[in-house]
Each structure stands twice: as C-alpha cells, then as structure tokens.
Amino acid sequence: MTESNESTKPEEAQQYSFKAETKQILNILIHSLYKDREVFLRELISNASDALNRFRFAMLTERNVLDPDTELCIRLSINKEERMITLQDSGIGMTKDEIVENLGTIAQSGAREFLEVAREQQDNLAQIIGQFGVGFYSVFMVAEWVRVTSRSYKPRAKATSWFATGEDNFQVASADKAERGTKIEIKLKEEAAEFAEESRLREIIRKHSDFVSFPIYLGESEEQVNQRTAIWRTSRQEVEDEQYDEFYRQLTLELEKPLKHIHLVTDAPLQVYALLYIPGKEERGLLSLRKEDGLKLYSRNILIDEYAKDLLPEYLRFIQGVVDSEDLPLNVSRETVQATGMMARLKKILSGQVFRELEDLAQKDPEKYRVFWQEFGGYLKQGVATQPAEAEKIYPFLRFRTSLNPESWSSLDDYVERMSAEQNVIHYLVGDDPKSILRSPHLDYYQTQGMEVLLLTDPIDSFMLMGLRKYKEHELKNVALAAPEEEKTKKDEPEEEKKVSTENFDQVIERFKQQLGERVLDVRGSNRLSRSVARLVDPEGSLNPELQRVYRYLEKDYEIPKKILELNPASQMLSNLLGLKPESDLHKLVIEQIYESALLVEGLHPDPAGIVPRIQELMEAALAKYPPEVE
C-alpha cells in the first residue's frame, strides 16, 4: 500500500525553506536524466561510512557515548511491494541543529561550483556529484520522498526526524529512536522500482562500495555483501600471487594473466594505497569490464571515479588498477583538487613507481620485458613524441631491432656499449617493414664498415624521432642522408679494378638523366653503395626523411621533394647497361626499373603493383637469350 506524502510527514513538524542554491541543485537532480542513477546508493553508503568513522574517532577521546558496544555497521532493507528502501548506520548520528545545517544547506562554494559544472556536463553529473558535498541530494533522482531519522552519540541528545519531497521546503520534528545513528527511509518513484530488488542493490554495492571498511548487511537474512578488506590496503607480505591474479580477473574479467602487478603503499608525501597491473595483452578481451582507459580512484575505500585519467601520463594509459588516498578531499571539484596540486602529486608518485618497476622487470626478467615491449612499446614511443619534458625518462626503456641484431631487441645502452671507439653517433634508418628495411641500399656502407644501425619500421617511429635527437652525448643520425664528412674512411672507395671507368660512368649518368628527366633533381655517383645499384637521397636543405614520413602519415598537403638518384660506380649491371643502345626498349626498361625499385625501397612508389608488367617484360627479354632446348 502506497503511503501519501501527507501521512508520512512527522507530527508537529517545523517547516524550513531550502537555501536558493540548494533549490537549484534539487531541481537539476530531480528533473534531469542520468545514465547512472545508482550513484545515489554510493553516496548514501559513503555518508554512512563517514559517520561510522567519525564515531570511531570520537571513541578515542570520549568515554560517555550512547551504545558504546553496538556494532559499527550499515544495514539495508527492502519492501518491494511498497517500493521502500531503508538504510541504517550506527555512526555518530546528528542532533536537530546538525540535521537542519547538514541537510538543509549546502556549502556555498560547493553549491556554486556544482551548478557551474552542471551547466556544462548535464549528461555525466553522476560521476561528479560526490565531489561537491551534494551527494545526499542525489537520492531525489529516485525518491518520491525521503525521511531521515537520527540520534546523536551524545547520551542526552534526542532523536530528530527530517522529511522532504524535493520541493522548496523540508520539515523537522522530534522522533522516537532509541539507538545511536541514522536511518534513511526512501520511497522510490515508479520508474526507479528496480532499486527495490536485493539483487540490484547487491550489484551496486559490489561495484561502488565493496571495500567500505564497515560491514554492509542486506535484506532480512542480513547477508554481508561487501568484501571490506581492500587488497590494496593489505600488507604486501600477506598477499599471495594467486590473490593478486584473482583480483585482476575480478577487476577486468580478462582471461590473460597480467604481466606484472605493482603494489604501492606510501605515507609521505601523500598517504596512498595503489594496486596497478600491466595487462598481459594490449588488446582488451570482448568481455572486459574496463571499457575505457583510466584507474579506479577511491578515497577512504569509497569509489569516486571509475575511470580516473589524470593519475598517470597518457602514454601509461594501458595500466589497469586502483588508487586509494586518505588525503583526497571529496567535497571539492576535480578542478580544485588539481589546482591544489593533489592530482599532480599523485601522478608523480604513481608514474615514478611504474618506471621503477619497469626498470626492475627489464633487468631481472628480460624475456618478460620483451613481451611487455612488443605489446606496449608503442605507448612509450608516443610518450617520447608527445611529452618532451618526460622524454629522457623514457629513453632507457625503448627497444630496437638493429642491422646487426635484427631478430632481438636492443636498448640504447646496448647499442652504445657495442659502438667502436671511433664512432660518436647513433645511426638509424626508417623503413616500412622489418624485412624490406634490411635490403635498403642505405645500409651498404654501414655493413661494409661493420657499424650497427637502429631499424625503425613502426609508423609511430617517425613521430618518436622528433623527441629523440640525442641519447646521452651521442646524436642520432639518419643513414639515408648524404654521407657526413666525419664518416668518410678509406673504405669509401671501391676497389679500383671493380670501378666503372670515369668516362663510361659519365655516360651511364647521362643516360639516366635523359631517361628520367625532371622526375629526379640530379643523378650522381656514390661510393657509399656496395651491393646495391642505386639509392635516392634528399638534396641539402630539405626536410629530413622522418619528418617527410610524419607529413605523409598525417596526410598533410605536402609534396615529397624531388630526390637525387645516386648510382653505384662498381655495379656490373650499370657497366653492362652501356652495351645496350640508349633508344632500345630494354635500355629504357632497365633504367625505369632501377629508379622505381629505389622508390619502392623508400616507400614512395605511388603504384607498386604497376611495376609488375615491366618486371614481366624484363624476364621475357632475359629468357629470349636462351631458346628452349629441343629434345
């Protein structure tokens, strides 16, 4: 049977008017639609937990309190037919004056900030309600009316009842309540009847309040539905690896075990409890509970943000886990927390610990770090590209394939240790894929010299290089550039007997110029080629190759500059080319193929499949010299 508003009002009630800001907030909460109306229960349990904590603190200094032996707990009961929820705590309770002050007024600053945010975030207020001290009023998202009956822990205090429907006024009257604490009765709206189901309340509690440090009992059976002991607040020595893995499964529903867990407990400069995980794979499973990036942020065991994105740098967003801080205020806005430096300090603590753990993993378990790098290395590269101030901190964690070790991963320190005494720069080459880059003509000189080159084949590598110009005292230089003077050695010159004569080679260069015309800026010889016939290089003063790739990836209105075609004076193929008449079709086919093969190696060919017909013609010309044998 539904009880009318009039019949539920306390007798001899005194009527009060809500302050103007409170009226506005109630209007927003009651008449706006929210995706997560369940937040009301989170806020009520949070308030109850605070009341229990305050009583526990009071017991440290006061002996004369009401019901000192009563269990500190929260109880929830349901009357499904009446659409009623009752929540009771045995906390510190409230006097009449405290009820009028606490439930009739919202701190002016908190109200003002909430209203400002409400105008901007109408579709997602559920995530920020508790940050402004307006959490209690979220109950009016689901309630027709609410009655709060409370008795203070002080023995002589009398019980008081507060009643409101979300309109402009509320009523306060004396009440009959023998035990200490607060009882909240909620008459649910018809459209909120789902919250009169035990299963629904159990789901909400386990999602938002599972680690409240006081027991939460539900229903007639008084089943305790919260876990209470937060694993991240437990001593590391008391937690087994299996428990860490099990919590990760509960948190994410991922089947793959995490690569590593990071359990952090600090008292200074902030009191922080954190349990972070590096997932086993970069890609989330289809059934993953975590649909967004960000950590679960708790304050005193109360979840206040399901996806807190400001606790780690963006390039560490793959990390999952929970963070709990005693020092995080709940009665101010997120912007205010950031303004006080709280989030920045938390971020510094957490990211510092992550890097220490990654360093430990790289040193003690290189194979597991290899797995980590292959799954999440792209995120660290993004950090180098987008966070210049933090780039140097990331450098030691980068890994590369190299020309001398193409099947394994090397750090920059590994590379530097293998450098010869004469080498003072770190060489690298950017390419399209791990196999083709090893065939690059730009590597010829370095292979003959026995020098190692970093091989960069991920699209993000070109962006990373914008933030990686120097490691320690060694500059990074692209081997695709023209030969720096300091790298020239005696080995630059091919053996004289293998070198095409100057007169003949001048003819080769002239034929290429005539054939290719304005498609190239110039054609010249290069003593830096050994196994390769030709390569394309940029003219002096043009954008370096990695920046050109950045523009291509960004699809900017940018035209690749014309290249210089460098030819190998020791190439037998070029020597043989002089045996063909310049006007012959085969002569033209060979020059075109040499040029377009160079384009292909550089990743610049506009139509790679267009090479196939020419290759077929070249094969036919080659086979024409060998008539079929007659049996």
CATH of the domain at 354: 3.30.230.80
Residue 380 lies in a domain: no
- Closest by CA position to 92, among listed 118, 110, 68: 68
3-state secondary structure (DSSP) of residue 332: coil
pLDDT for the residue numbered 122: 53
More confident residue, 431 or 542: 431
CATH of the domain at 57: 3.30.565.10
List strand residue ranges (DSSP E) for 175-314, in order.
Answer: 181-188, 216-218, 223-224, 260-266, 272-278, 295-299, 302-308
pLDDT for the residue numbered 102: 82
Same domain, 48 and 177: yes
| Band (107; pLDDT cuts 50, 70, 90) | very low
Same domain, 45 and 166: yes
Same domain, 190 and 203: yes
Condensed to tens digits (0 to 9), the pLDDT of residues 74-102 reads 999 999 999 999 999 999 999 999 998 88
CA distance 630 to 161: 112
Q: Is the dihedral of CA 174, 177, 178, 183 positive or negative?
A: negative
More confident residue, 600 or 159: 159
pLDDT for the residue numbered 467: 93
Residue 436 has pLDDT above 70, yes or no: yes
Domain stop point among 204, 224, 244:
224
Residue 578 lies in a domain: yes
Q: What is the per-residue burial (b if ≥16 Cβ within 10 Å, else e) of 81-109?
A: eebbbebbbbbbbbbbeebbebbbebeee
Residue 631 lies in a domain: no
pLDDT for the residue numbered 32: 59
Question: Quick check: 338 and 297 in contact, CB under 8 A?
Answer: no
pTM over 0.75: no
CATH of the domain at 588: 1.20.120.790
Percent of all residues in the chain with a pLDDT value above 70, rounded to a whole number:
83
Domain stop point among 192, 224, 256:
224
Same domain, 478 and 516: no
Same domain, 522 and 481: no
3-state secondary structure (DSSP) of residue 224: strand
Same domain, 563 and 617: yes
More confident residue, 446 or 125: 446
| Band (130; pLDDT cuts 50, 70, 90) | very low
Residue 329 lies in a domain: yes
Residue 365 has pLDDT above 90, yes or no: yes
pLDDT for the residue numbered 456: 95
3-state secondary structure (DSSP) of residue 530: coil
pLDDT for the residue numbered 119: 57
Residue 535 lies in a domain: yes
Residue 239 lies in a domain: yes
Question: Quick check: 309 and 315 in contact, CB under 8 A?
Answer: no
| Band (488; pLDDT cuts 50, 70, 90) | very low
Same domain, 236 and 214: no
pLDDT for the residue numbered 109: 43
Domain stop point among 491, 507, 531:
491
| Band (498; pLDDT cuts 50, 70, 90) | low
pLDDT for the residue numbered 29: 66
pLDDT for the residue numbered 485: 42
Residue 598 has pLDDT above 50, yes or no: yes
Residue 134 has pLDDT above 80, yes or no: no
Which residue range forms the structural domain that includes residue 286? 231-364
**Which stretch of 17-31, 56-70, 156-170 has the lowest confidence by average pLDDT?**
17-31
Residue 388 has pLDDT above 60, yes or no: yes
**Which stretch of 143-152, 155-164, 348-357, 487-496 has the lowest confidence by average pLDDT?**
487-496
> Span 155-159, mean pLDDT?
94
Condensed to tens digits (0 to 9), the pLDDT of residues 367-385 reads 999 999 999 999 999 999 9
> Span 112-133, mean pLDDT?
53
How many domains does the chain fold into?
A: 4
Same domain, 192 and 267: no
Residue 627 has pLDDT above 80, yes or no: no
Same domain, 91 and 74: yes
Q: What is the mean pLDDT of the chain?
A: 85
Kindly list the distances between the CA atom of residue 113 and the CA atoms of 21, 109, 329, in Å, as whole numbers in the listed order. Answer: 11, 6, 15
Residue 382 lies in a domain: no
Kindly list the distances between the CA atom of residue 535 and the CA atoms of 520, 528, 568, 593, 597, in Å, as whole numbers in the listed order. Answer: 12, 10, 9, 12, 9
CA distance 428 to 208: 50
Residue 437 lies in a domain: yes
Same domain, 480 and 499: no
Question: Quick check: 547 and 557 in contact, CB under 8 A?
Answer: no
- Closest by CA position to 41, among listed 174, 206, 176: 206
**Which stretch of 89-98, 334-343, 525-534 has the lowest confidence by average pLDDT?**
334-343
Same domain, 132 and 37: yes
Kindly list the distances between the CA atom of residue 580 and the CA atoms of 172, 393, 511, 513, 586, in Å, as whole numbers in the listed order. Answer: 107, 58, 11, 16, 8
Q: What is the per-residue burial (b if ≥16 Cβ within 10 Å, else e) of 462-480?
A: bbbbebbeebeebebbbbb
Same domain, 486 and 520: no
